[in-house]
Structure 1
Amino acid sequence: MAVTVTLAPGRRSLWDQPVAIAVHGLAPAQRVTLCASLRDEKGALFRASARYEADAGGQLDLARAPSLGGSYSGVEPMGLFWSMKPDKPFWRLVKRDVQTPFPVDLEVYEGHDPQPSKLLAQVVHERSFLRPGVRRIPVREGSLRATLFLPPGSGPFPGIIDIFGIGGGLFEYRASLLAGHGFAVLALAYYACEDLPKDMEELHLEYFEEAVQYLKNHSQVKGPGVGLLGISKGGDLCLSMAAHLKDITATVTINGCLANVGCVLHYKYMTIPPLILDQERIKITEDGFADIIDALNNPLEEPNRKSLIPIEKAESCFLFLIGLDDHNWKSEFYANEAAKLLQAHGKKKPEIICYPATGHYIEPPYFPMCVVSYHSKVGRHVIWGGEVRAHSMAQIDAWKQLQAFFHKHLGNDQITHPSKL
């Protein structure tokens, strides 16, 4: 009997959708090694493997069988995806073209050898970023360099602006996946994209105000206000937008700061300086990487308060998603101080969800954890924190939490769910 691999819901699914993996036609209690691999659009290889043993009937179901070792251990139905590591050191998995899927090679090998060689079965699983019917619309209106994703249907839909951190460019993968859940999402670049400034030396909040008005006034977007979603530097930009701009109803930050960081921020008559990063407080790990968690000055102390974001001026509701092992900066401290400022001014207490053993880059579900990568503002490779399994589980929960928050506060009457592709 030939060994075969079955996938449910099928050989193609959305990236944020779990897939059930089973192997059939094995001998009773047969030992096998399962391997998963993919190449990103720059050719970098990501891989994971795990050792399993078939049941008495020669079947192997990853939803029930424990991994006996390898990239992970225990019962982890999606472990072959979230435990992937890059062959290229210090590389982060990023989807650059959401119009094409990531093909993931799944292979079954005989035995538990460290380098198994006898291939028993293989299958390619395509992980997509666009749910059928989601529309991708490049936006080049006024100063904006962005992409709008609209869900299937006639709308109108709750609108969200999606902003990433330091690194520049236009990242669409989170926005495209969110659109599959019933949101109109504007993925917004703010530097290092086409004719935008190549460096993040200074930013103007008027650019982000233009994005708010574009989305708010779109015929497919449900008002009266819009939502904001930002990670890292994108998080503090979202807080600045909520504090200074109108029409912001709900704001989600993922490991953001309570101060303006990384560059000068201008808005009308105001110039907001960046919070100073003290190079002398950067620690170097045994592996030679930078640990920058203590490098930023405290924005609550003078003279640093000029960089503090006046979050108490905001009319938005807030959700802070926090990795308790974030080594970029003290995200939990900033979230708690934001809560104090809001409540001291009679505003609603923000929701704060903290994830133990979770690092800085909380991505959509099943993205491999980024352990170390280059930080352009620090000028060297830095550690981001987190333990692989805990971080991966946090990504799954955070994805559900931010959707529930936006559904609640933006009033989505057309909640949708990923379907088979």
Structure 2
Amino acid sequence: MHCSTKALSLLQSVNPTTQVISKKIFPFFRAASKSRNPFDQSRNFFVRSAIAPINASAITFDRRALSAGQISAGNVPVWSGSGNCSLYSSSAKSGGPTIVATPQVCLQDVHTTLTIQGLDPSVPVTVRAQVSNDNGKKFCSHGQFVSSAAGTINLDTAESVGGSYTGVFPAGLLTTLGPAPGEFPYLRLYKKDPMQAWQINMTVHSGHHEVSNESPPDEVCSVLLTRLLMAPGVTRHPVRHGRVRGVMYMPPPQYGPAVGVVDMFGAVGGIMEFRAAMLASRGYAVLSLPFFAYDDLPSVPHTLELEYFEEACHYVMAQKNVIPDRCGMVSVSKSTDIALLLSTKVPQLTGVVCISVVHVSYDTNITYNGKLIVQGVKLGLEHMTTDEKGRLYPNAESIFSNFLRPGVEQAGMLRLVEASPECRYLIVAGSEDTWLCYMCVPYVQQYMERHGREQNLESIIYEGAGHIIEPPYGPHIIHTYQRVLPVYKEQVPKKVENPDDFEFPGGDHGYVTGVPVLFGGKPKETCDAQVDIWHRMQKFLDKSVRDCSPWYQAYLRKNNDN
């Protein structure tokens, strides 16, 4: 457990009532009978999987209104296509075992069940997942199983006895995908181009094998999973408008006015579009918004102009077929301070999601209308430490004593009391986040309570989850290689014997670059958190943005009258 017991006790000393989710997570689905939006069910894009290769023109949307009672963990939205389709395909030797994928072709946020049939009773097998990223780098995972008396293995219920994970973990092979042997160990697996689907090869091998550079022997059957980040009908539009840079993802226009969302990642920099594409596939109009290290934007986030983010919100609301008077924002880690601050300046921003929330602005000065409104709290390298593998992360005791003292409102803390009373916040963090975002949650809770705004806040700490909580069934990112880290070099952590191990860019910003960073968390618990926050944030955005929009309510009345 990377989150120390002492750190957790410090958290409880701040707010012993902090909500922690540790039970098994089930997806949240909106109930048609309770929804105020007649178009809600257009987001449940049910598509049956066509046998690969995909014929996108043959795939259609089904707007059947289903109540929550009709949708369960075992009956999730899947792809649905026209014509004769199969939910699976597999290759095997004639008369030999087969592997069944249900569904084989689906959106990335849909669970796929893998079942192996036709094995001899009680025989050991290894199931391996293999995929390449957009640059051709290879990633893999594997589980070791023993067939049942009937000669079958259902990966939703079967226990892995070895490999990349152990125990019963239905999404284990997807969640534990990591760099293959021989690849750089800190590679991060994500889709740079969401228009291209994941192609994940699942193979079954006789006996128990470990992953190596050589293919395991005795392959008995295989199946190719196709997992799409963009539903058919979703469109992608590069944005270069005024000062705004990014990519806009629009859902099919025939499903009514969409909730507009600005989507930002954190200190990774550049642009990451996959979450925007996936949200658009569920009916949202989403701008993937970079704020440094992209196009002509600043190379590092030393000073940021809040007008850039304000203009992004207005750009989204100005799009055709988007609710024009309210919008939402999804932020992660480094961008959460921006989202919180922006809510105090843009009254139309009424739904703010903060994943791995930070309640102060670390290492970034923020200006508005030419004036400095937030002086960034300087986080020096002396507050960092490293583990035995040289991976950097904050020292919990140092962070707590210097930045998170109970009852103290730091100068850099964001004044959410200045936000519109309509604005709602959903803030979450993992209890094993090595970057200690779970410590920020009770501070925001206390702040909102002191100012009578506690009803505007929903907060969750996911037990066992790490810092990186992405959309469902993405890999568990326990560590990565950070190009730019907004941490200053002043002193070297005690565990760092050679300061030359860290590279620092020129100029006066003094940020750390080129360093392996530890994010923490357990695979299954992080996967559960991904599934929960994905559905929870959609429900939250609908309620806080769409249902609070006077324009949308007038739109509903007009359509009901007609």
Q: Please, what TM-score do these two structures have when normalized by structure 2?
A: 0.70
2:101 matches 1:7: yes
User: Deviation at 1:319?
Assistant: 0.6
2:440 matches 1:340: no
Partner of 1:229 in structure 2?
330
Query: Which residue identity is paired with 1:333?
Result: M
2:170 matches 1:64: no
Partner of 1:94 in structure 2?
190
User: Deviation at 1:300?
Assistant: 6.8
Partner of 2:135 in structure 1?
42
Q: Does the CA contact (< 8 Å) of 2:144 and 2:209 recur in 1?
A: no
Cα separation, 2, equivalents of 1:114 and 1:190? 42
User: Deviation at 1:352?
Assistant: 0.6
Q: CA RMSD in A?
A: 2.1
User: Deviation at 1:185?
Assistant: 1.1
Task: Give the secondary structure class of the aligned counterpart of 1:244.
Answer: coil
2:391 matches 1:289: yes
Cα separation, 2, equivalents of 1:23 and 1:287? 38
Q: Does the CA contact (< 8 Å) of 2:194 and 2:277 recur in 1?
A: yes
Partner of 2:469 in structure 1?
362
Task: Give the secondary structure class of the aligned counterpart of 1:122.
Answer: strand
Query: Which residue identity is paired with 2:390?
Result: G
Cα separation, 2, equivalents of 1:119 and 1:8? 21
**Matching residue within 356, 377, 394 for 2:529:** 394
User: Deviation at 1:299?
Assistant: 6.5
Number of equivalent positions:
411
**Matching residue within 201, 226, 248 for 1:148:** 248
Q: Does the CA contact (< 8 Å) of 1:292 and 1:382 recur in 2?
A: no
Task: Give the secondary structure class of the aligned counterpart of 1:369.
Answer: coil
Task: Give the secondary structure class of the aligned counterpart of 1:305.
Answer: coil
Q: Does the CA contact (< 8 Å) of 1:37 and 1:47 recur in 2?
A: yes
Q: Which has the larger radius of gyration?
A: 2
User: Deviation at 1:302?
Assistant: 12
Aligned pairs (5 A) from 1:245-324: 245-271=346-372, 272-294=374-396, 296=399, 297-298=402-403, 305-315=410-420, 316-324=423-431
Query: Which residue identity is paired with 2:541?
Result: F
Query: Which residue identity is paired with 2:418?
Result: K
Q: 1:330-360, CA deviations, whole angstroms, 9 ceiling, x for partnerless residues?
A: 3233222222222222224311111112111
Query: Which residue identity is paired with 2:248?
Result: L
Partner of 2:556 in structure 1?
none
Q: Please, what TM-score do these two structures have when normalized by structure 1?
A: 0.92
Query: Which residue identity is paired with 1:338?
Result: V
User: Deviation at 1:198?
Assistant: 2.3
Task: Give the secondary structure class of the aligned counterpart of 2:524.
Answer: helix
User: Deviation at 1:158?
Assistant: 0.8
**Matching residue within 19, 23, 43 for 2:112:** 19
Relative to structure 1, the CA distance from residue 293 to residue 96 in structure 2 (aligned partners, 3 Å threshold; closer, same or farther) is farther
Partner of 1:418 in structure 2?
none
Partner of 1:123 in structure 2?
223
More strand by share: 1
Cα separation, 1, equivalents of 2:132 and 2:451? 50
Cα separation, 2, equivalents of 1:64 and 1:326? 28
Q: 1:147-170, CA deviations, whole angstroms, 9 ceiling, x for partnerless residues?
A: 111222432111111011012111
Q: Does the CA contact (< 8 Å) of 2:326 and 2:546 recur in 1?
A: no
Task: Give the secondary structure class of the aligned counterpart of 2:299.
Answer: coil
**Matching residue within 405, 416, 419 for 2:540:** 405
**Matching residue within 30, 38, 44 for 2:123:** 30
User: Deviation at 1:19?
Assistant: 0.7
Task: Give the secondary structure class of the aligned counterpart of 1:58.
Answer: coil
Cα separation, 2, equivalents of 1:66 and 1:307? 48
Q: Does the CA contact (< 8 Å) of 2:245 and 2:289 recur in 1?
A: yes
Q: Does the CA contact (< 8 Å) of 1:256 and 1:331 recur in 2?
A: yes
User: Deviation at 1:80?
Assistant: 0.9
Q: Does the CA contact (< 8 Å) of 2:253 and 2:321 recur in 1?
A: no
2:309 matches 1:239: no
Extract unaligned runs of 5+ from structure 1: 414-421
Task: Give the secondary structure class of the aligned counterpart of 1:339.
Answer: helix
User: Deviation at 1:401?
Assistant: 1.5
Partner of 1:163 in structure 2?
264
2:154 matches 1:52: no
Query: Which residue identity is paired with 2:465?
Result: T
Query: Which residue identity is paired with 1:410?
Result: V
Cα separation, 1, equivalents of 2:439 and 2:479? 23
Cα separation, 1, equivalents of 2:194 and 2:532? 23
Task: Give the secondary structure class of the aligned counterpart of 1:145.
Answer: strand
Task: Give the secondary structure class of the aligned counterpart of 2:344.
Answer: helix
Query: Which residue identity is paired with 1:112?
Result: H
Query: Which residue identity is paired with 1:139?
Result: V
Cα separation, 1, equivalents of 2:204 and 2:190? 26
Partner of 1:194 in structure 2?
295
Cα separation, 2, equivalents of 1:110 and 1:269? 66
Cα separation, 1, equivalents of 2:339 and 2:281? 22
Relative to structure 1, the CA distance from residue 28 to residue 303 in structure 2 (aligned partners, 3 Å threshold; closer, same or farther) is closer
